[in-house]
């Protein structure tokens, strides 16, 4: 597990996040959430001080990987903390304080989100993000470009008061639910804009 100078973010009560510096445009974020008496570590990239910040929150419960390609440093973090590593647990995690929300389960793409009802916290991997390549125009949060035609509208049913993202900074407070709904509502109509932005980014313009 290589060290890196991560930037800590999403430092809310019972929660801490961190963003890995590479690649800079992806804003790869991991999170640790204290809930139900344990700390749940989600899609963690490695970084200086990360393990220390996790254990400061409380007793680690498990590492949860939300997306099949989000291997990041999940296995290494789980090993170092001495906890299980659950990779895309569609069947849920026994006695966990969160609900597993299926997002996509097709060949080549298996993804879930986590919903912590007591904390009203939604954690997404790629379904929603706040990083270049995901957002278009004035979007604060965007649906993944490959999901925009059929966005995961079930997320709008949750009373989200805290939104944590696998790419980019999260949102705490009433704006979180609004950001989720806005992202889902604008997903289809903003497809041309996000595609143009991605082409410009690929061309370095």
2 lies in a domain?
Answer: no
| Mean pLDDT for the chain overall | 94
Which regions of the chain are under pLDDT 50? Answer: 1-2, 203, 205
Q: How many domains does the chain have?
A: 1
Print the domain residue range for 169: 7-91+98-203
- Cα separation of 16 and 30, whole Å? 9
**Looking at residue 184, what is its pLDDT?**
98
- Cα separation of 199 and 100, whole Å? 34
87 lies in a domain?
Answer: yes
**Looking at residue 4, what is its pLDDT?**
79
46-49: long-range pairs with CB below 8 Å, 24+: 46/1, 46/2, 46/3, 46/4, 46/20, 46/72, 46/73, 46/76, 46/77, 47/3, 47/4, 47/5, 47/6, 47/18, 47/20, 48/3, 48/4, 48/5, 48/6, 49/6, 49/8
**Looking at residue 205, what is its pLDDT?**
47
**Looking at residue 199, what is its pLDDT?**
53
List beta partners, residue 124: 165
Parallel, antiparallel or unpaired: strands 60-65 and 38-42: parallel
- Cα separation of 156 and 140, whole Å? 16
**Looking at residue 137, what is its pLDDT?**
77
- Cα separation of 28 and 12, whole Å? 18
Residues 6 or more apart whose Cβ sits within 8 Å of residue 97: 35, 36, 38, 40, 116, 117, 118
pTM: 0.94
pLDDT tens for each residue of 51-62: 999 999 999 999
42 lies in a domain?
Answer: yes
List beta partners, residue 29: 19
- Cα separation of 172 and 182, whole Å? 16
**Looking at residue 57, what is its pLDDT?**
98
63 lies in a domain?
Answer: yes
66 lies in a domain?
Answer: yes
1 lies in a domain?
Answer: no
Q: What is the CATH number of the domain that holds 171?
A: 3.60.15.10
């Amino acid at each position: 597990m290589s060290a890196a100078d991560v930037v800590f973010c999403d430092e809310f009560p019972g929660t801490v996040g961190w963003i890995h510096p590479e690649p800079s445009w992806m804003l790869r974020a991991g999170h640790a959430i204290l809930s139900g008496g344990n700390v749940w570590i989600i899609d963690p990239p490695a970084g200086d001080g990360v393990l220390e910040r996790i254990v400061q929150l409380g007793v680690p419960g498990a590492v949860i990987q939300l997306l099949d390609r989000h291997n990041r440093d999940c296995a290494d973090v789980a090993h170092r903390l001495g906890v299980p590593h659950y990779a895309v647990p569609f069947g849920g995690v026994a006695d966990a304080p969160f609900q597993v929300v299926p997002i996509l389960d097709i060949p080549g793409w298996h993804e879930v989100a986590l919903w912590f009802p007591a904390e009203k916290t939604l954690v997404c991997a790629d379904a929603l993000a706040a990083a270049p390549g995901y957002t278009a125009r004035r979007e604060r949060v965007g649906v993944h470009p490959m999901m925009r035609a059929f966005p995961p509208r079930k997320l709008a049913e949750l009373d989200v008061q805290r939104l944590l993202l696998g790419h980019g900074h999260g949102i705490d407070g009433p704006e979180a639910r609004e950001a989720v709904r806005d992202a889902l509502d604008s997903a289809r109509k903003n497809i041309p804009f996000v595609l143009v932005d991605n082409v410009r980014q690929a061309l370095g313009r």
